[in-house]
Structure 1
Amino acid sequence: QTLLQHSSGQEKVSQPRWEPQPRARLMTALTFSSKCGIVSIQDNRISIWSVGDLGNTGLNGEYHGEPHLLCDIQHNGDVMDMQFLDQERIVVASSTGTVTIFRHHQNNQTLSADHRWAKAHYHVDQDTSCGGAACTGVVCNNPEIVTVGEDGRINLFRADQKDAVRTIDNADSSTLHAVTFLRTTEILTVNSIGQLKIWDLRQQRNEPSQIFSLAGDRVPLHCVDRHPNQQHIVATGGQDGMLSIWDIRQGTMPVSLLNAHEAEMWEVHFHPSDPDHLFTCSEDGSLWHWDTSANVSEKPSFLHQGGRSTAYLSHSTMNQSVVSAWLSNDPTKDRMEITNLIPNQTLSVNSLDVLGPCLVYGTDAEAIYVNRQLFA
């Protein structure tokens, strides 16, 4: 594990993201944003770091290269979310409501603002000069960009178009906290009253096609991710630190509610190429690795528990056979290993990203960490 940056100032690392890489050059660059703890927007920056490549690791997997800052640029407002559009462009969501595409010029290692949608999110009842509402989430499927905000608005942008392709002004009466693509034309959103919603962007009506919700208390949901191979499997996390697993093909409530963190869960991510592994991070200073791959070959019986049909099983890929572990009535029994990757936890772990064997996460302790041996 490498400490990439430790600042003597008040820089809270909010959004670390791996730059998408060709397979031949996996994991050579990383971007993250630092969120200022002092009320001074000038100190918010987007930074690109190089952390070397896997060729610089020793026999025991230790990394021998020196991480270094390639370039950075100021950002107006707190960075609420950040996603790569492609290998050169980064889409950033601001607390001011503005959405910006930054371009990384790799020939001279500079960053510039490529395009900006000012006040993409705003409060109608406030003065227009300061009425911006935080853009809380962004997801990209080049060239399309979807944003959500605390104003309950959903925007669909295209990177090559000046104006929004579509806006759903009153998509939600509460704050939308996160968004991800379900399929090419469908998105998933989570909100501050415990609801998971599906939106079909092909439909012109401004209503969700499906609504799912937590039973009982309306606990705010902060994060959402869908299984990369089996898109009906969705994971969410929220204010109570619980991990919820949903099967969007059936019912309106989660299939599983798993006790997880002791405070807010800020992000949840299935591993993009090995989705029997899932990662969550929390305000309580912990980062958990959930592993359902253990004993799958030796204990196939669990795949049929709860009266579920064998039709759930797919043998088209190796990864898909373990999906039912997430859908089991008791997915932790005998077949899930849970590891806290930060044993000496202190301040909030705000965000994480995972690619191949590498994990990156940022904390309120003014530090960003890289772990290159996830499966060692």
Structure 2
Amino acid sequence: MDSINAKYVSQKISKVRWRPVSSAALQQPEVFATGSWDNEDNKVSVWSVGECGGAGEDAFEGDPQLLCELRHAGDVLDLQFLDQDRIVTASSTGAVTIFRHHHNNQTLSVAQRWDKAHRYPCDNAPCTGVACSSPELVSVGEDGRVVLFRVDQSGILRTIDNADSSTIHAVTFLRTTEVLTVNSIGQLKLWDFRQQGNDPAQILSLTGDRVPLHCVDRHPNQQHIVATGGQDGMLCIWDVRQGSMPFSLMEAHSAEMWEVHFHPSNPDHLFTCSEDGSLLHWETSTGSDAPSFLQGGRNSTIVSRSSAAPAGGNQSLISAWLSGDSTKGRLETTHMLPSQTLSVNSLDVLGQCLVCGTDGEAIYVNSRVPI
């Protein structure tokens, strides 16, 4: 556990994201942003961890250090980096806001705000999710709207007013013109902005109970593969090219899954976090003598479900998420945090660095994730 640093921040953390790094520079991330919720004054904050993932035992100089922060109207329900300087937030007030991080004097300012992007006929509706594909960004909300913006325009580019009759909880870009949304009745909907009208290009859904889906992430190299998590704590892998049901379902958490993320450069690794206070690292291994996260002297006490097969004995998720050959390997899971009692609301992973935020008013940073 010596690679985990905990920082207590006196506010419940709803969202956490690494600032992107230049792919050409090959450096590890050093700066991340957080958003808070359920506090008297919510904030967007920017933190530095110095040299993350450096050589030797002392990979960190110390705890994450606060660089700057700015008050945020309403709860931060989502947060994404648009680029290295700009951060986009979704608010419980219905607003979508772009903040600019000024590196020279370590301050934050509001660069753009769409105040009533999501609304009911007589009140604001919470904006529940945002996704960025610069220069465009998309927001979704409790009002069932999908809203498309351009960051260099003050108006709204397009609104799909009746995209959903239920709450849309999350959104991700599949391609530059396509987004995927998940809702509170267990559906995934694919939207193609080249098409006119309010009808989705495709609908996928869980059979049986309509379990709300809370989060979605796209495989970074194969856009047709997506992962979702929801109220029942199940991890679902989908192939949007085939059928309308998930390819595999796995028992992941004992309570709501709040976020799921493929590792952006090594997508055989996936991470999930939950209301049950846990953060899991999932790895599709290829039948080596020991999975990579058990090598290199890691503390074995953090491994709780090594060699766990997918629920129902479906071992097809093994060497790659959609591999059909069950003889090639297995799926491994590892608990990444010390014992937790309060919800882990958000996580992000970049390089060998993982960060998560909790309702326990703590940020955890792991500097040496075994990827």
Identify the residue that residue 3 of structure 1 maps to in structure 2. 5
> Contact 2:5/2:63 (CA < 8 Å) preserved in 1?
no
CA distance in 1, matches of 2:63, 2:167: 41
* 1:49 to 2:47 alignment: yes
CA deviation vs aligned residue, 1:147-193 (integer Å, no higher than 9, x gap) = 00000000000000011110001100000000000111100000000
Q: Of residues 328, 337, 345 in structure 1, which corresponds to 2:340?
A: 345
CA distance in 1, matches of 2:326, 2:369: 21
Identify the residue that residue 80 of structure 2 maps to in structure 1. 83
How far did residue 342 of structure 1 move?
1.8
> Contact 2:181/2:189 (CA < 8 Å) preserved in 1?
yes
Amino acid at match of 1:21: V
CA distance in 1, matches of 2:328, 2:248: 12
CA shift in 2, pair 1:341/1:355, >3 Å: same
How far did residue 296 of structure 1 move?
7.1
Q: Of residues 358, 361, 364 in structure 2, which corresponds to 1:369?
A: 364
Aligned residues: 343
> Contact 1:52/1:66 (CA < 8 Å) preserved in 2?
no
> Contact 2:318/2:326 (CA < 8 Å) preserved in 1?
no
CA shift in 2, pair 1:183/1:297, >3 Å: farther
SS of the residue 1:138 aligns to? strand
* More strand as a share of residues: 2
Q: Identity of paired residues, percent?
A: 64
CA shift in 2, pair 1:367/1:16, >3 Å: same
Q: Of residues 72, 88, 105 in structure 1, which corresponds to 2:102?
A: 105
> Contact 1:156/1:166 (CA < 8 Å) preserved in 2?
yes
**Gap regions ≥5 residues in structure 1:** 299-305, 309-321
CA distance in 2, matches of 1:132, 1:112: 23
Q: Of residues 32, 36, 39 in structure 2, which corresponds to 1:34?
A: 36
CA distance in 2, matches of 1:88, 1:186: 25
* More helix as a share of residues: 1
Amino acid at match of 2:252: A
Q: TM-score, normalised by structure 2?
A: 0.88
Q: Of residues 287, 297, 320 in structure 2, which corresponds to 1:325?
A: 320
How far did residue 36 of structure 1 move?
3.2
SS of the residue 1:325 aligns to? coil
Q: Of residues 163, 166, 184 in structure 2, which corresponds to 1:174?
A: 166
How far did residue 58 of structure 1 move?
4.8
> Contact 2:284/2:329 (CA < 8 Å) preserved in 1?
no
Q: Of residues 132, 136, 140 in structure 2, which corresponds to 1:140?
A: 132
Identify the residue that residue 302 of structure 2 maps to in structure 1. none
Amino acid at match of 2:50: G
Amino acid at match of 2:184: S
How far did residue 33 of structure 1 move?
1.4
Amino acid at match of 1:3: N
CA distance in 2, matches of 1:95, 1:332: 47
SS of the residue 1:70 aligns to? strand
CA distance in 2, matches of 1:80, 1:329: 37
SS of the residue 1:16 aligns to? strand
* 1:96 to 2:93 alignment: yes
CA shift in 2, pair 1:359/1:208, >3 Å: same
Q: For 1:1-376, what aligned pairs fall within 5 Å after superposition?
A: 1-7=3-9, 9=10, 11-23=11-23, 24=25, 25-37=27-39, 40=40, 43-54=41-52, 57-60=54-57, 62-124=59-121, 126=122, 131-295=123-287, 325-328=320-323, 334-375=329-370
How far did residue 60 of structure 1 move?
3.1
Amino acid at match of 1:29: V
SS of the residue 2:149 aligns to? strand
> Contact 2:285/2:319 (CA < 8 Å) preserved in 1?
no
> Contact 1:176/1:191 (CA < 8 Å) preserved in 2?
yes
